Amino acid sequence: MTDSGEGHAAPPDPATDEEAGEIRAADLGRWLREFARLVRANRDLLTALDSAIGDADHGLNLDRGMTAVVIELDAAPRISSPATLLRTAGMTLVRTVGGASGPLYGTLLMRMAAACSAPTLSAEELAIGLRAGLDGVTARGRARPGEKTLLDALEPACAALDSALAEGTSLGVALHAARAAADAGRDATTAMVARKGRASYLGERSVGHQDPGATSMALLVTAAATSLGEPADSATAGAPGSD
Ligand code: ADP
Ligand code: MG
């Protein structure tokens, strides 16, 4: 990554002013906490989506799991390596979420952990980690894109992140592209026939319903864009009070 600081209109953020692209464990912690917040805020939506084509527990499952993750992170504030933080969160999800989504999200984070051994991550290393997570989820769930699952948000997000970074964009811009791709992938699940998980029992009757797992996965990518990317629209983190 280039280290040009030119043209940045945003005021320096004392928490992240070192080097754009250096992602630390604390940054990943902010990402997962933001995901937990979004899951809580969307819990009823996720559960309503799952009530249409599943068993009405997706919001409850993920909220339980991410609440446990936040408790784990609070209890271990000194986790200093990305791998340890991701592994801790992934194991917590596997342990606390009974549904299909727990092992799948847990696998995503644990595979990311295995691929992210450096003490701080570059944008490229984050993308490599996320793709390793995608590969792990694919292997575990034996699903492919187009089968109306969380992969339909995760796979396009990884593809968008990779291609944006390959073009030399900043992490912030790349993550916002990933977010747009995840949202589009989520929306595309509405027209799909479910081929995996409980929704597959409905066959063609699953058409017309947005997949709950793709919906939560898009929230995970949104959380990454807002917590790991540059502040796109002012995070109002205490701008100096100039009336
Ligand atoms: P359960 O189906 O056990 O009740 P959840 O309701 O928490 O679990 O999660 C359902 C979501 O899990 C689905 O919307 C789908 O996105 C995802 N899912 C289910 N099976 C698979 C699979 N084999 N591969 C990928 N994602 C899957
Ligand atoms: Mg369910």
Band the pLDDT of 230: cuts 50, 70, 90: low
Beta carbon of 57 within 6 Å of any ligand 1 atom: yes
pLDDT (tens digit per residue) in 175-200: 999 999 999 999 999 999 999 999 99
Q: Say which range, 11-15, 29-33, 139-143, 160-164, has the weakest mean pLDDT.
A: 11-15
pLDDT at 84 over 80: yes
Q: Which of 128, 198, 118, 116 is nearest to 161 (CA)?
A: 128
25-231 sits in which CATH class?
mainly alpha
Kindly state the average pLDDT of the residues 105-115: 98
Residue nearest to atom 19 of ligand 1 (CA): 197
Give me the residue spans of the domains in the chain.
Answer: 25-231
Are 109 and 172 spatial neighbours (Cβ–Cβ below 8 Å)? no
| Contact predicate 174/162, CB 8 Å | no
* Ligand 1 pocket member 58 (CB < 6 A): yes
Element (H, E) at 155: helix 151-166
- Looking at the predicted structure, is the pLDDT value of residue 237 above 60? no
Instruction: Give 4 Cα–ligand 2 centroid separation in angstroms.
Output: 46
Query: Contact 60/99 with Cβ under 8 angstroms?
Result: no
